[in-house]
Structure 1
Amino acid sequence: MQTLEPATRTEHSAPWPWQHRLPRALRLSDGGVIAVSMALAQVLRFGTDSSVTLKGSAGLNYWLVTALIIFAWWIMLEAWGTRDLKVLGTGPEEYKRVAVASLYLFGVIAIFSYALDIPTARGYVGAALPAGVLMLMCTRWLIRRWLVGQRANGQMSRRLLLIGGPSAVAHLHKNLSSNPAAGYLPVAAILPGFLPQSPTGEELPIPVAGVSADLEHILSSIEEHQADAIAISSGSALKPRTIRSLGWELQERGISMIMAPALTDIAGPRIHTQPIAGLPLIHVSTPKLEGMRAVFKRAFDILGASIVLLLLSPVLLATATMVKRDSPGPAFFHQFRVGKNGETFRMHKFRSMVVDAETRLDALQADNEGNGVLFKMKEDPRITRFGAFIRRYSIDELPQLWNVLMGEMSMVGPRPPLPAEVDTYEKYVHRRLMVKPGITGLWQVSGRSDLSWEDSVRLDLYYVENWSLMQDLVILARTVKAVLAKDGAY
């Protein structure tokens, strides 16, 4: 078969395209940050004295040790893939790699120091590691913010050609377009074996480059649309031999090939690839929040709720006083909600509405601005003046920390539903009740009241299916930002 020669490309193949400039800038940034942190540790521990030597090392100067660690740290970040284009701009995975690479380096230094009986100054190492990691994280965060802004404007993204059936291509395009920070910009689609136009009139949101499964057609479409990568999804109708030949051709052109299986809302830790007889089999582990995982989550809940209650006790007292002064009635509002495994419990909140709010609900149903299942109004007349303030900043939710201590709720989890809501659930939605509801969750940091019912369910099910302690910590951090921004709070 005659293959196409790589065509001359435009800006995407310039001498220093962004794919090369960005990692290069990160290498310079990382080198500078590491050098500053190590020099700072050296000065803090030994001052500017250049004669200080490492004991037991035949007079090895500490400034030379600092230079060696700077070089080793820089290499470690490169080896751990912290500058890989696939993780830049994604956030948690990038930060995780930076932290793990740094910890491994200093772990190796500690092992060698112990094995060779070299008494490295603890103050020196104790200052270098946290200072370096903190500064690396801060610079990566700043670069990420800049990169996300660029990608939101269609810049600094990899041009992606989608191959698959119409529904799979539409789904992939929707998810990638809604998350520009991932760095993929769908530019065209190939629909092997399908019609170029939809018989229903629902056309794809991107141009259809063709419907042929021929290798030469795919390669010419890649060059025509200047794609940096292709994504092969379900329904592609490409033969294994064609995919293998396509991989070889793409390798010669420096273009990435991505396989996008029809697995949605499944986090990376649950996916494991096992090559058997030349077949890359994908295993998806079953989500289970039990055993030691459940113990860790419960311990985290007790510790977190206790600390927050202790620190915010003056705020809780002041809020209760203001609620009583603002309108007649009790300071707290109690309501039955459905928890884990469908068990009901009494949830506590600061009262933010008038005392007869429940009886007035039916009269307001015509003005419901919620998502069809939940009642929401941006200008709810039942909300008191002070109640609007505490709802805006989620202060009314703080008494739920007591529910967490009692084991009825968790710090992070799905939104606690009303019994009437659960009665309307479809069968699959009941999976939300496999874990304890949370004071905050993915729904809280993703729009709150502005979410549709389908999005709320999807986020809750994603949490249930993919729980991890690290994810809880990330959600808690994002909650602070969401509360301060007042997104979707009414």
Structure 2
Amino acid sequence: MRHVHFPAQRVARTAADSSRAALPARRLGDKARWYLPAAVSADFLGAAVPVGLVFEAAQQVRPVYCAVGAALAWTGVQAMRRRYASRVLGESRGVLPVVHDWLILIGVLAVARVVTGENTPRLSALGALLPALLITVACHKLTYRHLSAARREAHAVSRVLVIGEPDAAETVIAHLAARTDHPYVVVGVVPVGAGSMVSGVPVAARLDTDMPQAPHGDSAAVLGAVASHHADLVLVAPGVRIGGERLRRVVWALHDAGLELAVFPGLVEVSVKRLETLTAGGLAVLRVAPPVSRGVQTVLKSVLDRVGAALGLVVLAPLFLAIFLGIRAGSRGPAFYRQRRIGRDGAPFVMWKFRTMVVDADARKSELSAANENDGLMFKMRRDPRVTRVGRLLRRTSMDELPQLFNVLAGHMSLVGPRPPLPEEVAQYDEVELRRLTVRPGMTGLWQISGRSDLSWDETIQLDLQYVDNWSFTSDVDVMGRTLRAVVDGRGAY
């Protein structure tokens, strides 16, 4: 893949935060104290109040007892699922895990209903529990936004000390610096062997190339580095010079001191759902499951695509007519625009869109090549002079993409997937970029909900590969839910 250029402000964040290592008075890893009481209160009251009101209206004999029972059951399910753990509070989990917990609650209360002989109408009882789901989701969104804002200011983060050979350590540091959707801030590095460090992160200590003769040599150096930089976590990038017996002694020393250690296995953008830890002859083995390519989930995806596209075309027919008339009235030319794109396994197809540009837009593209604002193979301009007035509105709301429902219905595209590239773009793809063509392209995907045209080419490819390797049916449902917010927000749509 092409060399990745990390955003300067994000790299600066890691280097600047490292200077705060000498400030031990306040633990930057602590989250806001109100997260836990807010989560418990929202869950308890979100279940108790609606259930109490509905059961009172239904003239149930013991509405208060039922309300308290439902609230205790909901908070109990959340506690058993470890939703109140400090490491979980405020973190983004999406809507689906909450729905899963809620379905467990329904099962628990269904059993309780049979045992107690409670006879409130089933639909009323189910409707009384729906606010608990919505309020819990809203509370998660609130704490997630607060935590994200805090982390942008380098608060509520974990101070990390990286250990590894210089090149490996630089790779880990650069990757963490390029993203802000994680709690790690590197405050120091312990290189193994000679070699310069260019990241700007302070070198807290340096280990010899070979294992020291003194059994506690490495341990003392690492523990000293942790103490001097007040690190919460030690992250090891194993290599030829640090592994096996040497790494085991460092682990012993850190654990004896009550400190945490994590090992970076060299994998990037692999979902934890695909990872499984095994042991073989005393060796710790990390198994990586292959991406989902067949089975029930792929059948469900196909059904969702075809049914969703058919329903969408029926429901949106009046909107299609209004857009059609608006385009024809705004500029001369057809209302629809057809373009040759590349689909799954490199198969070409004709993609449909509402026309948002002047008729001769393709002929004028070469004239604007010098004004391309994308750093990769795609052509993007914030103020493209070829876009019509109606087209600007359609792009802002993503309604120009709606005719692709025909492509989904025909099986050329999916509702969720990487964006379909142009043939001239694919002609310049390297081996890594070609991997995004192993699945059907989609109307929406990680690209659309993560910034769209504001993303760099490398970020776009990274998101596409993340989708290809970690796809699941539930992740598709989650992306479709988050797409609505991205469309309303309009960030990166031009």
What TM-score does the superposition give when structure 1 sets the normalisation length?
A: 0.86
Paired residue total: 463
Partner of 1:156: 156
Does 2:384 align with 1:375? no
Partner of residue 223 from structure 2, selected from 207, 219, 226: 219
Match of 2:264 in 1: 260
Which amino acid counterpart does residue 43 of structure 1 have in structure 2? G
The alignment partner of 1:265 has SS state of: coil
Answering whether residue 402 of structure 2 is matched by residue 393 of structure 1, we say no
Do the aligned partners of 1:191 and 1:210 also contact (CA within 8 Å) in 2?
Answer: yes
Between stretches 301-310 and 255-264, larger displacement belongs to: 301-310
Paired letter, 1:207: P
Inter-partner Cα distance in structure 2 for 1:401 and 1:68: 46
Equivalence for 2:12:
none
Map 1:250-329 to 2 at 5 A: 250-329=254-333
Moved more, 279-288 or 102-111: 102-111
SS at match of 1:358: helix
| Counterpart for residue 166 of structure 1 | 166
**Larger CA deviation: 383-392 vs 323-332:** 383-392
Are positions 1:431 and 2:435 aligned together?
yes
Aligned-partner SS, 1:275: strand
Matches of 1:408 and 1:113, distance apart in 2: 48
TM-score scaled by length of structure 2? 0.85
Superposition deviation, residue 262 in structure 1: 0.2
With over 3 angstroms needed to count, the CA separation of the structure-2 counterparts of 1:400 and 1:149, relative to structure 1, is same
The equivalent position to 1:206 in structure 2, one of 188, 198, 201, is 201
Compute the RMSD of aligned alpha carbons: 2.7
Q: Indicate the SS of the match to 1:210.
A: coil
Q: Which has the higher contact order (CA 8 A, sep 6+)?
A: 2
Instruction: Return the alpha-carbon distance in structure 2 between the equivalents of residues 142 and 293 of structure 1.
Output: 31
Q: What is the alpha-carbon distance in structure 1 between the residues aligned to residue 86 and residue 145 of structure 2?
A: 15
Give, in angstroms, the shift of residue 310 of structure 1.
Answer: 2.8
1:90 counterpart residue number: 91
Confirm or deny: 8 A CA contact 1:80 1:97 kept in the other structure.
Answer: no
1:450 matched residue in structure 2: 454
Asked whether the equivalents of residues 410 and 438 of structure 1 are also in contact (C-alpha less than 8 Å), the reply is: yes
Q: Deviations over 1:80-116 (max 9, x none)?
A: 22133433343126x55544344334423434554x4
Tell me which residue corresponds to 1:58.
none
1:135: Cα distance to partner?
1.2
Change (3 A) 1:403 1:226: same
8 Å Cα contact 2:339-2:352 kept in structure 1 = yes
Kept in 2, the 8 Å contact 1:163–1:236? The answer is no
SS at match of 1:479: helix
- 3-state SS, counterpart of residue 357 of structure 2: coil
- Identity of aligned pairs, percent? 35
- Contact 1:373–1:421 at 8 Å: present in 2 too? yes
Instruction: Name the CA distance, whole Å, in 2 between partners of 1:76 and 1:209.
Output: 44
Alpha-carbon contact 1:271-1:282 (below 8 Å) kept? yes
1:279-334 residue CA offsets vs partner (Å, 9 max, x unmatched): 22111111132232221111111222233323322221111111111111111111
Judged with a 3 Å threshold, the aligned counterparts in structure 2 of structure 1 residues 131 and 251 are, in CA distance, closer, same or farther, namely farther
| 1:267 and 1:466 in contact (8 A); partners too | yes
The residue type paired with residue 277 of structure 1 is G
For the pair 1:47 / 2:56, whether they are aligned, the reply is yes
- The equivalent of 2:15 in structure 1 is none
With over 3 angstroms needed to count, the CA separation of the structure-2 counterparts of 1:90 and 1:379, relative to structure 1, is same
Q: Which residue pairs with 1:186 in the alignment?
A: 186
Amino acid at match of 2:455: L
User: In 2, distance between residues paired with 1:107 and 1:120?
Assistant: 16
Q: Which amino acid is the alignment partner of residue 154 of structure 1? A: A
1:359 and 2:363 matched? yes
